[in-house]
Chain A
Amino acid sequence: MTLSRGTKMLLGIFAIIAGAFVYVPLGIILINSFSTNKSLTWPPTGYTTEWWSKAVDNEGVRSALLTSVVVALCATAIALVLGLLISLAIARYRFFGRESISLLIVLPIALPGIVTGIALNNVFTSYLGGLTFLTLVVAHATFCMVVVYNNVLARLRRMGGSVEEASSDLGAGGWTTFRLVTFPLMKSAILAGGILAFGLSFDEIIVTTFTAGPGITTLPIWIYQNLFRPNQAPIVNVVAAALVLVSIIPIYVAQKFGSDDERAGGVI
C-alpha cells in the first residue's frame, strides 16, 4: 500500500509526539533527582548531587534493595524450572487440555494483581498460618513463570522438532538429546526469560503488598511507604531515577540474547 508523503509525515509527527508522551515523565524523574527542592516542585530552583549520596547511604533503601534482589532471585529460580517444563510440554506434545494450560499460565498476569494478591493472601492467612518471606516468593514465582514460558516456547516453536529427531536418529537418547541439542539451542531464550522474570518480580508492588510477611520491605514497598512523607521526597526522587536507569539493563540483555520475536520482552 502506497501512502502519500503527507500521510507518512503525519504518522512521523504522531510518532514523535507519542515518544514525547512516553519519555518526558521519565526525563522529569531524572531531573527531579538533582533538584534542590525538598518537595515535588517544577521547575527545580537549583541542582545538587547531595541527594544521590544521601540515598546511597540510606539504610532503609539499602535493606529494601537487598530484600528485593533476594526475593526476585528465589522467584526467578522457581519460575525458570516450572516455565521450562511447561514450555517443553506445550511445544513438543499434543494432549488433552493443552489449550487450557496455555490459558491457565497466562492468567496470573492477565488477571489484575489485586486479584492474585487477595486470592493468595486469603489462602495464606486463612489456611496456611500467615504471611512470611516464603509466601512472597511463592506469589512472585506464580506470575514470573509466564515470561520464562513465553520466551522458551517462542524459541522451541521456531527451532521445530527436526534437529531433535536428527539427534535421536543418530542414536542419542532423550536426555542426551536434551543436554546436547535442545538445551544449548534454547539457552539464550532461557537467559532472556530469566532476566525478564527477575525484572517483573523486582518491580512488583500490588501482589507484594498482599503476600509479604510483616516487616518484609521490598524496594517498591519502600518507595510506596515514603512517597507521601514530605521529608523523604528527595530520596524517593533519587531511588526513582536510579530505577529508571536500571530498567535499561533487562532491555539490553533481551535485545542481545533474544531473537526477533522474543524481543517483545516475553510479556506479550
Chain B
Amino acid sequence: MTTTTATHRGFWYRHPGLRLGGLLTAPMAWLVVVYLGSLGALFLTAFYQVDDFTSQVVRSFSLKNFQTLFTTSAYYQSVFRTISIALLVTILCLVIAVPLAFFMARVAPRNWRPVMIALVLTPLWASYLVKVYAWRSMLQPETGVIAWFLKPLGLDGPGYGYVGIVITLTYLWLPYMILPVYAGLTRLPDSMLDASADLGAHSGRTFRSIVIPMIFPSVVAGSIFTFSLSLGDYITAQIVGGKVTMLGNIVQQTYVTNLPFAAAVATLPVIIIVLYLLAVRKTGALESV
C-alpha cells in the first residue's frame, strides 16, 4: 500500500526540496540579481568619480562624493530638510489616521465598513501625479482654492513651498497609515477592551494601556511607507515646492552628468530606511505590511 502511494505520488512529492527550488529559482534570481544586484552596484558607484574632461565614470574608490554632499551647504541642507519633511509627514499622517481608523473600526456601524474602506482606498489608487497636481491648484497663490477660501478671512494660503510639500505628501501617503491602523484596530478583540473596562479602567486609560500597545506594530508598518515614500519624493517638491528642494531633487538634477554623485545621494535614504526596517523587524510590524 505504502509503495503504491509513494510511486503514485511521483517524483515531486518525494523531493520537497526540489519542489521548493522550482518555486523559488525564478523569483529569487529576479529579486537577487536584478534588484539586490542593482542596489549593490549603486552602492559601489557611490564611491566612483566622474572624470572632469571626458565625463566618463572612473571606477576608483574614494569618499569624495560623500564629502561634497556633507560640505556643500545647499546639499546637506536639502538632506536635513528632507528628513524633517518625512518626519513631519509621518507624524501628521499618524495624527489624522489614528482617530479616523478608530472611528471606522470601533465607532461607526459595522455595515459601513466596506464603504468606508472603499472611500479610503479610492484616493490611494487615483494617480499619484494627479493628486500632486490637484494640490497645485489647491495651493496656487492668489488663484488657488485655499487662497480663494481664505481671502474673505483676510488670510493668504501657504502657497508653494515647505508647507505645501508637507501638506501634499501627507495627503499622498495618508491611506498607507490609515489601512494598517484600521486593520490593527479591527483585530483587537472586544473581550480585551471589556476586560479592561471591567477592571475599572475608563476609556482614556484603556486607550493608553491596551489600544496603543496593540496597534503599535500597525503604526510602525504605516510609518515605514509614509517616512520612506516622503524621503525619496522629488516630484512633489517640483510641482508644489516652489524653490524648496528635497534630497530626490539633487539625485534627479545630477544623475545625467554625475551618476556617482547621484548614487551617493540616493544611498542615504536606503541606509536610513534599512536601519529603520531592521529596528522594527522585532515588533512584528513587517508581517502586517
Binding site for B on A (CB under 8 A): 1-4, 7-8, 11-12, 14-15, 18-19, 21-26, 28-29, 32, 39-43, 81-83, 85-86, 88-89, 93, 95, 101-108, 110-116, 118-123, 125-127, 138, 141-142, 145, 168, 171, 173-175, 199, 203-206, 209-210, 220, 223-224, 227, 236, 240, 243-244, 247-248, 250-251, 254-255, 261, 263-265, 267-268
Expressed in whole angstroms, the Cα–Cα distance for A48 and B229 within the complex equals 37
Interface positions, chain B 1-55, Cβ under 8 Å from A, are: 5, 8-10, 12-13, 16, 19-20, 23-24, 26-28, 30-32, 34-39, 41-42, 45
Asked whether any CB of chain A lies closer than 8 Å to the CB of B174, the reply is yes
The answer to whether A40 and B143 touch across the interface, beta carbons within 8 angstroms, is yes
The answer to whether A1 and B207 touch across the interface, beta carbons within 8 angstroms, is yes
Which residues of A lie under 8 Å from residue B24 when comparing CB positions? 85-86, 89, 101
User: How many pairs of A and B residues are in contact by the CB < 8 Å rule?
Assistant: 289
Which residues of B lie under 8 Å from residue A23 when comparing CB positions? 123
Partner of B136, one of A1, A40, A101, A251: A40
The answer to whether B20 and A111 touch across the interface, beta carbons within 8 angstroms, is no
Partner of B262, one of A28, A40, A118: A118
Binding site for A on B (CB under 8 A): 5, 8-10, 12-13, 16, 19-20, 23-24, 26-28, 30-32, 34-39, 41-42, 45, 57, 96, 99-100, 102-104, 106-108, 114, 117-131, 133-138, 140, 143-145, 148, 171, 174, 176, 179-180, 183, 193-194, 196-197, 203, 206-207, 210-211, 221-222, 224-225, 228-229, 231-235, 239, 248, 251-252, 255, 259, 262-263, 266, 269-270, 273, 277, 281, 286, 288-289
Smallest CB–CB gap between B47 and chain A, Å? Answer: 13
The answer to whether B125 and A107 touch across the interface, beta carbons within 8 angstroms, is no
Expressed in whole angstroms, the Cα–Cα distance for A14 and B95 within the complex equals 11
The answer to whether B136 and A265 touch across the interface, beta carbons within 8 angstroms, is no
Expressed in whole angstroms, the Cα–Cα distance for A196 and B32 within the complex equals 23
13 residue pairs of the A-B complex, CB under 8 angstroms, read A18-B99, A26-B134, A104-B32, A104-B35, A106-B286, A112-B228, A118-B262, A119-B38, A125-B259, A244-B126, A247-B123, A265-B124, A268-B179
Known A-B contacts A203-B128, A251-B118; A236 and B100 likewise in contact (beta carbons under 8 Å): no
Which secondary structure dominates chain A's binding surface?
Answer: helix
Which residues of A lie under 8 Å from residue B262 when comparing CB positions? 118
Expressed in whole angstroms, the Cα–Cα distance for A126 and B44 within the complex equals 12
Known A-B contacts A25-B131, A42-B144; A138 and B34 likewise in contact (beta carbons under 8 Å): yes
Which residues of A lie under 8 Å from residue B99 when comparing CB positions? 11, 14-15, 18
Least CB separation from B255: chain A residue? A118
Closest 7 CB pairs of A and B: A112-B232, A25-B134, A119-B38, A89-B23, A119-B42, A247-B126, A82-B27
The answer to whether B96 and A18 touch across the interface, beta carbons within 8 angstroms, is yes
Expressed in whole angstroms, the Cα–Cα distance for A71 and B286 within the complex equals 30
Smallest CB–CB gap between B175 and chain A, Å? Answer: 8
Which residues of B lie under 8 Å from residue A29 when comparing CB positions? 130, 133-134, 137
Expressed in whole angstroms, the Cα–Cα distance for A100 and B20 within the complex equals 16
Kindly name the residue among A7, A81, A101, A240 whose own CB sees the greatest number of chain B CB atoms within 10 A.
A240
Which residues of B lie under 8 Å from residue A254 when comparing CB positions? 121
Which residues of A lie under 8 Å from residue B255 when comparing CB positions? 118, 121, 210
Kindly name the residue among A22, A95, A121, A220 whose own CB sees the greatest number of chain B CB atoms within 10 A.
A22
Expressed in whole angstroms, the Cα–Cα distance for A266 and B21 within the complex equals 26
Expressed in whole angstroms, the Cα–Cα distance for A206 and B3 within the complex equals 57
The answer to whether B143 and A26 touch across the interface, beta carbons within 8 angstroms, is no
Smallest CB–CB gap between A260 and chain B, Å? Answer: 9
The answer to whether B41 and A240 touch across the interface, beta carbons within 8 angstroms, is no
The answer to whether B259 and A11 touch across the interface, beta carbons within 8 angstroms, is no
Known A-B contacts A138-B34, A265-B121; A205 and B128 likewise in contact (beta carbons under 8 Å): yes
Known A-B contacts A93-B20, A103-B277, A223-B129; A40 and B140 likewise in contact (beta carbons under 8 Å): yes
